[in-house]
Amino acid sequence: MNRQQRWIALCLLGASVTSVLRVSAQETTSFSKQIAAKVDSDAKPLKPLPVSFDYDPAIREERLFDGSLRVGLCLGLDDAEALKGPLVAEVKLIDLSHSHRSHTRFVPIKVDRDVFRGDLASPASAPPPTAGEDWDGYQFQIVRYAHFDLQNLGEEAPLLNPARVYRLFVSLHRKAPHQGPATLLGQVPYPYYTATSGSTRLDRARQRIVMRTFKEFYYRLNGWRTGEKYPMDCYAYYMWATGFCTVGSQNGRTQLHNLFDKENPYNLGSHIPDLSGEGPIHGDYVRMPGHSFMLLSYDAEQGQVWTMEGNFNSTVEVVVRTVRPSWQVGHLRDLHIVPNLFRVFPDRPRLFPGWGG
């Protein structure tokens, strides 16, 4: 095990211990907020693999929801001979609106391409430097880009639904006639958060908003740079995350007074169950004394919301909170989304320049 893998293993062990302590505390006392676990508390600790999730393809795609979900992977091949053969992903999927339920499925991993990429001080599983970065001093390594697909099957209840937020824990296996403990190679460090699109323009905007924040969250976990520039401030984080799609935004930053006013007032936190019952709430804004954050999902069984928060302990975190009736909730609506944001037919080229959905 190299130095990077040992570091990841220690981090995962610490996160696992912290997660167990938090779960134990939750069983005996109520809580107002807690950081979402970064390891699967129901699984035994596994060897961390030099593998990372690739968020860029999911952020770029504009397709409508078709009952499937694609997850990109980046495999560091130099120190992992086992990753070079046919692989299968063991995926534990959790809908955050029913966060105490999960579904596990084994799916094949499909190779997209192998590339030589530069690596200076980043782990072998890190994405390549962006176009504007300096390549001087980089050592080149082999990285395999791949993906796996989850999809609804006709003979069972839908695994995936439109306009939902999901958390995935992923382990990799060698491909074999039957997958089991003997084929298990290890786990992909940290969970993968994602959201499905929907049929409406607002659904698609919500999906793009939260995917931007999921990438930022994941990069910070790994100590990588995304190139995004915003101050470490909870309010500024929301303005950055939604600024690409909201009416009246300035310099790529949302101006909340252009969204929520006398005609479109804030709701109370006590209205979150009703808002969630009417439709999606991921991407919605919440403010409370001294802090603000983005909603991801409401779990009615637990009476809790999952949130994405900038400047939570000076970093970006996914947090689980007990709903407070006094919160002020800015609920996004179609009128808040700029025109021509998406293609009319996302799987085709634009029919005419500038004409979109």
- For the chain, the structural domain boundaries read 39-199, 220-336
Model pLDDT for residues 10-36, shown as the tens digit of each residue = 555 454 444 433 433 333 335 799 999
Q: How many CA atoms lie within 13 A of 236 on its CB side?
A: 11
Residue with tokens 């293609």: 343
pTM for the full model? 0.83
What average pLDDT score do residues 275-296 get? Answer: 97
pLDDT (0 to 100) of residue 31: 73
Beta-sheet pairing, 33-35 with 103-108: unpaired
Look at residue 97 and give its three-state secondary structure.
helix
Number of helices (H) and strands (E) in the chain: give both, helices first. Answer: 5, 16
Banded pLDDT at 199 (limits 50, 70, 90): confident
Contact between residue 121 and residue 54 where contact means Cβ atoms under 8 Å apart = no
Instruction: Cite the DSSP H helix spans in the chain.
Output: 3-28, 56-60, 201-222, 234-242, 272-278
Give the residue-averaged pLDDT of 303-330.
Answer: 96
pLDDT at 155: 72
Q: Average pLDDT, stretch 308-333?
A: 96
Tens of pLDDT, residue by residue over 85-109, are 899 999 999 999 999 999 999 999 9
